[in-house]
A and B are shown apart, each in its own frame.
Chain A
Amino acid sequence: MKTNYLMLHTITRVVSFIILSFSIFLFFAGHNNPGGGFIGGLMTASALLLLYVSFDIKKIRKVIPFNYPVIIAVGLLITIITGLNSLLFGDPFLTQYFEYYNVPILGEIELTTALPFDLGIYLVVVAIALLIILTIAEDDS
């Protein structure tokens, strides 16, 4: 019997974008509120996993042509460079700096060096979660 996935495809096209926007919110809410790179990365991975479950692997490979091991390496590089940045100013490794700036539309915002560090963690978590799941799933047949 050939199964029909019309409802699953229709729901996935809406819900995956809701989950992606929620993951971006969680990513920028980090280091003062609950949130941050790790849980944001897990939410992005679950949104992409919903796409993989709903459609098939070959089709999503064509839509999202990322090489996940390269993304892990790039994320680790960003994290290490952010940590080494503080050595230039004579502070210990991984010291964080923050400064308040006045931006015309947004008002006063806080810029920290913890944000690029979180970006590296985000990339590593997304790529590792999807790489592990896809490697296990491709094992059969």
Chain B
Amino acid sequence: MEQDDEQNLIRKSAAGDHHTFRQLVESHQAFAYRLAYRFLRTPESAEDIVQEAFIKVWNNLTRYDPSFRFKTWLGKIVTNLCLDHLKRARNKWSAGDMPADFQEPSGNSDALEAAELKKIITDLADQLTEKQKAVFVLRDLELMTPEEVCSMLSMSLGNVKSNLYYARIKIKQGLEMYYQEKKSIKE
């Protein structure tokens, strides 16, 4: 969507136009859901966060700063809601609560390997600190620019880089350990 078109939609939505806001929701919903899912790993929680985020957007559209991209603003809201949710749920998770897509996958070997890789990386990401996880998800999984990450998390570039550095070390070490164990089992 063009920046001008988007600004136009935001202006109309801020004036209370529901139909225009629906267009805005439809064009950014997939991004918001993907981001929430990467943090929370369950479709139900991701959907709840997306709904909450868009309601927040609707209620605060008049405060929207056009100098920021709408996607960045929305991403910031979704990220903050996800981090709050994770804080609340940190001690509640147990093996029984594991989302369905992380149960034993079925299918061909490529699909199995992809599912396995997904599980390992997301498990490793869960072991990161909140800031490290947020930076890792936004930069390495959502492929956002460092500047966008800074803006979304209200962090300095140095802080983002520092968190990213430690996150990547931990993920790399975790992956290496996993593949070493797998190799030793095969031998």
Q: Do A and B bind each other?
A: no
A residues whose Cβ falls under 8 Å from a Cβ of B: none
